[in-house]
Amino acid sequence: MIVGVLNLQGAVSEHVDMLAQCQVEAKLIKKVGDLTGIDGIIIPGGESTVIYKLLVQEQLLDPLKKLIHAGFPVFGTCAGLVLLTQPKAFGVLKAEVVRNGFGRQKDSFEQAISVAGFDAPFHGVFIRAPYLTAVDESVTVLATIDDDKVIAAQYEHALVTAFHPELTGDTRFHEKFIRLIEKRQDFFSPNV
């Protein structure tokens, strides 16, 4: 299995390290040709407006959007969650996204999160984090803050967190994503 990590801006190397901890090969994705041979892709945290511009500039947005809408496994953290939700970007999760949703005074914070399916809390690192609201019933909510702010969710082959699992030593979300890829591996590896 080879997992792509979108390498336009943001916390790229941290995801590569997490994949290495899970004994999975990572491939940095900067242009369309790089998509060949990967089995899933991670969209890292960073600045979603910058990553969006670079996706358009590198002509990666449309081919990647097509793949993702065809069922290609994807994991987005923070800005990655924003891009996977915004209709103009990947628009794969039906929900509203509130960028920088936790306000100035709580721009960055850390909190133990209880996540559906995990038997111990997950250490959530939030950095100008977004959250999801008005989540469609097609989306499975995995974690919330304040009852109604969705901070981890899954829609079929798309997994998102508003926080940064790649900044902790905890590989549970990456392992969850790897299992999701394994389930869909009969699907395809893109050859573009």
Q: Residues forming the annotated binding site?
A: 46-48, 99, 127-128
Is 130 a binder of ligand GLN (CB under 6 A)? yes
- Confirm or reject binding of residue 124 to ligand GLN (CB under 6 A): no
Q: Does 149 bind ligand GLN (CB under 6 A)?
A: no
Q: Which long-range contacts (CB under 8 A, 24 or more apart) does 11-19 make?
A: 11/44, 11/45, 11/46, 11/77, 11/164, 11/166, 11/167, 12/44, 14/44, 14/164, 14/166, 14/167, 15/42, 15/44, 15/77, 15/166, 15/174, 17/166, 18/165, 18/166, 18/171, 18/174, 19/174
Q: Which is nearer to ligand GLN, 14 or 175 (CB)?
A: 14
Minimal distance, residue 94 CB to ligand GLN, in Å:
19
Sites for ligand GLN among residues 79-98 (CB under 6 A): 79, 82
| d(C-alpha 30, C-alpha 187), whole Å | 23
Give the whole-angstrom CA distance, residue 124 versus residue 101.
Answer: 15
CB of 129 to ligand GLN, least distance (A): 6
Asked whether position 167 contacts ligand GLN by CB under 6 A, the answer is no
**Which residue, 128 or 172, is less far from ligand GLN as judged by CB?**
128
- Which tokens in the block code for residue 75? 């994991």
127 binds ligand GLN (CB under 6 A): yes
Selection from 1, 39, 10 nearest residue 164 by Cα: 10
Does residue 78 belong to the site contacting ligand GLN (CB under 6 A)? yes
125 scored as a contact of ligand GLN (CB under 6 A):
no
The catalytic residue positions are 78, 164, 166
> Which residues are 6's β-sheet partners?
29
Q: What mask, x for binding ligand GLN by CB under 6 A, covers residues 15 to 54?
A: ------------------------------xxxx------
| Site of interaction with ligand GLN (CB under 6 A) | 45-48, 78-79, 82, 99-100, 127-128, 130
